[in-house]
Structure 1
Amino acid sequence: MSTVPKSAPEPTLSDVAALAGVSRAIASRALSAQPRPVSADKRERVMRAAETLGFRPNSLARGLANKSVNLVAILVNHIHDLSDLDLFDLLLTEIQAIGKQVIFIRVGAGEDAERFLRDGVAYHVDAALVFADFADAATMRTMFRNNAVLMLNGHHDAGAASVTMDEAKGIGEAVADAAAKGVRSAMLLTGRMMSLVEQARVASYRAALQAHGIELLAELAGDYSYASGRQLARQIDVDTTGAVFCTSDAMAMGVLDAHRQHFPDHRPARFRLYGFDNISLTQFDAYPISSIGADRKEYVAQIVRILNDPAGLASGGGHVLVATRYVPRLTG
């Protein structure tokens, strides 16, 4: 009777350490995705030994030993805004740089979001980063059975850390720019007004316009998208409107395309146009839109700094404000 030959045992961390001539602890540090103190010479020996033996670190086992899974949940309503792409590409890069991976959880909006948050079954993660409009920290802690919740949606829940953009500063600068150029009337194109972030953003525009004596002719609600900006652009009276402020760059792009005839060489002939988010596309020739935004690297750095302090995050490690600024371009 034939027998199936036994496969060779998988190489272990101890095997790697022995071949490299270092302790098991040093081998572990050298192979960790997180920055840990180990000399370049020893790290090179360990990496060479691991390659020789065909050793692959067992992330699950390491996570169990450290009581972590190196997994971070990011909760969003959806991902379709152009600003989302700029932000999340950078955020994923920086989270992976500290040895963690990301899962996105899309909760939708309105009743769908509320139902998901009420009935959703969450993953076992080290932390949850909450961008979704409707989520509160207490619900997140219950869903994930974890106190490590970072609020990024404008909710300042007691006991939960948060990072928020100080949007009033950049908005004030943009409105001041319009006033200095003789603007006396304006329209405001907004996104989802159920969002606490959007409510605060709109309130900042109203206050700045009033402070500079600019009449707010109308507020038109959209959904941050290019399509909604292009559709709302039909309601702009170019003869009475001195400036159009959009609460997203994507909406401003839709307005610009709908009124290209009023922007010869991208410069305003009938009304000035201002966006929000300072997305990467506004740096290209096709959409040189004056905008408002925070330094994304600083924003992401603050998120990762808090994420990298599990004890502080779990205990509600404070509230951080990241300043925004006005970025002038041709349409302003």
Structure 2
Amino acid sequence: MTGRAGPRPFGGVERATAQQVADAAGVSISAVSRTFTKHASVSPRMRARVLAAAEALGYRPNQLARSLMTGRTELVGLVSTHFANPAFMDVFDLFTRELQRRGLRPLIANLSEDGHAAAALDMMLQYNVDAVLIATSAPPEGFAASCARAGLPVVHVFGRAGTDAPVPVVTVDNVAGGRLAAQAMLARGLRRLAFLGGAPSDASSIDRAAGFAQELAGAGLQPVAVDYAGDYSHEHGRRAMHALLDAHRPDAVFCGDDILALGALDACRERSVRVPEEIGVVGFDDMKLAAWPGYSLTTIRQPMAEMVRHAIGEIAARLADPAHELRSRLFEIALVERGSL
């Protein structure tokens, strides 16, 4: 058999090629390429002819082939450790929607298990991602710095703010969030107060506990307990709340995360402990489940949608202009009062 093979059929239909679009539009193949390349120079008239031909033929540009020519894949590594936390499913929805809106695509990596950090970075380098978004308060030690050393633009969302951060951080003042939770409890005359965090090494848990204790110290008090459930999950929160009720029976508990707080509320139901009459519970995040009538959780809100948009906006600006300096930003938190305090 002689001659070149045509486009590979799929389901009996051949994929249109750029050359076919060029022939149909009466233009060069380079004009087709420029039409589908961001910021490329092409006249409005020629663009209209190419787009009309592409629409008629059902043509879609081959992004993999284009990345070989441009050196850009439009891939952004999205890495986290919180895939088991329902709150972060909402966060990932925000990330993926905003990335796709900007013509970017996420390459997701799970850093939950020990040893996955090196493999995740290797995967992102193999796929030649254009940038990395770290979406966790507790990435493996040195991971952000390793991404930066590899020459990748990096923004850390939900990280710890500070001058020693190896990459720009988009976050909230977690210490202030802990103080705000304590203020709400003290204002109601509650005095036996406890903190329940996730992992003891998690920066956000540490900072929220610190702010909580600082505010109590100003009132001449100290927490009756500062406990760490080990993970941000409903089951960890439920079990840890049972332990707090057995050992301390506090007036109120500040949970460093909404999903912990929901587990704590369910533990109270199992013990027939009335909320908020016998014990108060405050969370952190303001995830969608917190507002459900069955929970009606009082919580500290961090504006996740705004944080995600800012982080992706910074990455998009850097990709459009390599001279753009990625900026950190500290967002404000707020108390959302519902029925659990």
Normalising by the residue count of structure 1, what TM-score does the alignment of the two structures yield? 0.82
The root-mean-square deviation of aligned C-alpha atoms, in Å, is 3.4
Distance in 2, matches of 1:180 and 1:293, equals 19
The residue identity in structure 2 corresponding to 1:76 is: S
Partner of 1:154: 160
CA deviation after TM superposition for structure 1 residue 87, in Å: 0.7
CA deviation after TM superposition for structure 1 residue 41, in Å: 9.3
Change (3 A) 1:314 1:41: closer
Distance in 2, matches of 1:89 and 1:55, equals 29
1:211 aligned residue (185, 196, 218): 218
2:59 aligned residue (43, 55, 59): 55
Distance in 2, matches of 1:155 and 1:36, equals 38
Distance in 1, matches of 2:90 and 2:317, equals 25
Partner of 1:234: 242
Distance in 2, matches of 1:13 and 1:41, equals 18
Distance in 2, matches of 1:35 and 1:331, equals 52
SS in 2 for 1:236: helix
Change (3 A) 1:287 1:122: same
Distance in 2, matches of 1:278 and 1:120, equals 31
Q: Residue 194 in 1 paired to residue 205 in 2?
A: no
Partner of 1:262: 273
Distance in 2, matches of 1:220 and 1:314, equals 45
SS in 1 for 2:263: helix
Distance in 1, matches of 2:207 and 2:165, equals 19
- Structure 1 residues 122-146: Cα deviation after superposition (integer angstroms, max 9, x where no partner): 322101112352243321234xx32
Change (3 A) 1:158 1:79: closer
Q: Residue 134 in 1 paired to residue 140 in 2?
A: yes
Change (3 A) 1:69 1:118: closer
- Structure 1 residues 283-310: Cα deviation after superposition (integer angstroms, max 9, x where no partner): 2111111111212221111111111022
Partner of 2:12: none
The residue identity in structure 2 corresponding to 1:83 is: A
* Residues 110, 120 of structure 2: 8 Å contact kept: no
CA deviation after TM superposition for structure 1 residue 243, in Å: 0.9
Partner of 2:10: none
* Residues 159, 315 of structure 1: 8 Å contact kept: no
Change (3 A) 1:73 1:119: closer
SS in 2 for 1:331: coil
- Structure 1 residues 4-40: Cα deviation after superposition (integer angstroms, max 9, x where no partner): 78654664446536645789788657656x7999999
Moved more, 234-243 or 94-103: 234-243
- Give the paired residue count: 321
Question: Quick one: higher RCO (CA 8 Å, sep 6+), 1 or 2?
Answer: 1
* Residues 292, 326 of structure 1: 8 Å contact kept: yes
* Residues 133, 194 of structure 1: 8 Å contact kept: no
Q: Residue 290 in 1 paired to residue 291 in 2?
A: no
Q: Residue 272 in 1 paired to residue 280 in 2?
A: yes
Change (3 A) 1:253 1:105: same
Q: Percent identity?
A: 29
